[in-house]
Amino acid sequence: MVNAIRAHQYGGPEVMKWEAIDVGAPGQGEVRVKNTACGLNFVDVYQRTGLYKQPSLPFVLGNEAAGVVTAVGAGVTELKAGDRIAYVGPVGSYCEERLIPADRLVKVPDGIDDKTAAAMMLKGMTARYLLRQTYKVAQGNVILLHAAAGGVGLIASQWARHLGATVIGTVGSDDKVALAKQHGCHHVINMRTEDWVKKVKEITNGAGCDVAYDSIGKDTYPGSLDCLKPFGLWASFGNASGAITNFDLGILAGKGSLYATRPTLNTYTAKRADLVENANDLFDVVKKGAVKITINQTYALKDAAQAHADLEGRKTTGQTVLTV
């Protein structure tokens, strides 16, 4: 028996329970993994609350972790016991050990420790598809990045600046203004004290941005659209303030023939080759020092409920790790 954080019903952090579970031997195409560190992400909250429903209850929470392979099942050729690995999904990472399909794992290169790997996989690979695929950011682009002091934000702002973009970030406090500037943002707007749409227009001399990366949701719609150039792209990839329920397709025409997309990491890494390419690009910029992964909070896995409460209370910045 090993321990895991499970939820028997949807709800607040109080539904998360530290319980013993059975983990068997790996089957065809599977490996058994001993987790050493797990990442904390807002998608974990969405799944806990039931915004993103799970196939059945109870379920083990969590979407990313790093650790070591302890056993491999039939048909697994790319991995062996003792390999250091990291992964994003399927759901169930908040545990000491688990079974997982081998094709969802990537090997962690030397020079990147387990905590760093666990902290950056979901957020870092999200930043990668947003910046390199959803909108291919290049020298001279101007981007708007909401939640610039959050987990994805701190990675994406560094990476976008490395690519030559001008980065305008929004945050929710003065402390986070400084943090966002330290991590690559050229301009940072405190949304709680400033008219952020007006400020973006001032910064861009009325031209607007090429792309707006929006993980906030309800509170930044439709304002994000007002910050774009004609033909600009609004990439809505999260719902931190609540889901957008009143999207009007016609508003894209009136605001400049805009484009809108609701991308997910699952789609961008569904194929094994795409997963490996994404992860290797992330490992490369981290090893080069172009993107620094800063772990600002650490909790024991058994205290994951407190970590969720702090995340929802906007008491965390950057990356948070749950140690096993």
Return the pLDDT at 150.
87
Mean pLDDT of the chain, nearest integer: 96
**Alpha-carbon distances, residue 41 vs 101, 197, 264, 272 (angstroms):** 21, 27, 14, 23
Interatomic CA distance for residues 242 and 253, integer angstroms? 25
pLDDT of 195 strictly over 80: yes
Share of the chain above pLDDT 70, in %: 100
pLDDT of 20 strictly over 90: yes
47-94 residue pLDDT tens: 999 989 999 999 999 999 999 999 999 999 999 999 999 999 899 999
**Alpha-carbon distances, residue 187 vs 13, 100, 167, 193, 222 (angstroms):** 35, 42, 7, 15, 21
Return the pLDDT at 243.
86
**Alpha-carbon distances, residue 81 vs 29, 36, 71, 251 (angstroms):** 14, 15, 5, 54
Q: Which residues contact 108 (CB under 8 A, 6 or more apart)?
A: 66, 84, 85, 86, 114, 117, 283
Does residue 303 contact residue 75 with C-beta atoms inside 8 Å? no
Return the pLDDT at 199.
98
Return the pLDDT at 239.
85
CATH code of 2-121+269-323, in short, is 3.90.180.10
CATH 3.90.180.10 in the chain is located at 2-121+269-323
Domain 139-262 falls in which CATH fold? Answer: Rossmann fold (3.40.50)
CATH 3.40.50.720 in the chain is located at 139-262
pLDDT tier at 117, thresholds 50, 70, 90: very high
pLDDT of 183 strictly over 90: yes
132-156 residue pLDDT tens: 999 999 999 999 999 999 889 999 9
257-299 residue pLDDT tens: 999 999 999 999 999 999 999 999 999 999 999 999 989 899 9
Determine which helix (DSSP H) or strand (DSSP E) holds 20, and give its type and residue range: strand 16-21
Stretch 152-174: mean pLDDT: 96
223-257 residue pLDDT tens: 999 999 999 999 999 888 888 998 999 999 999 99
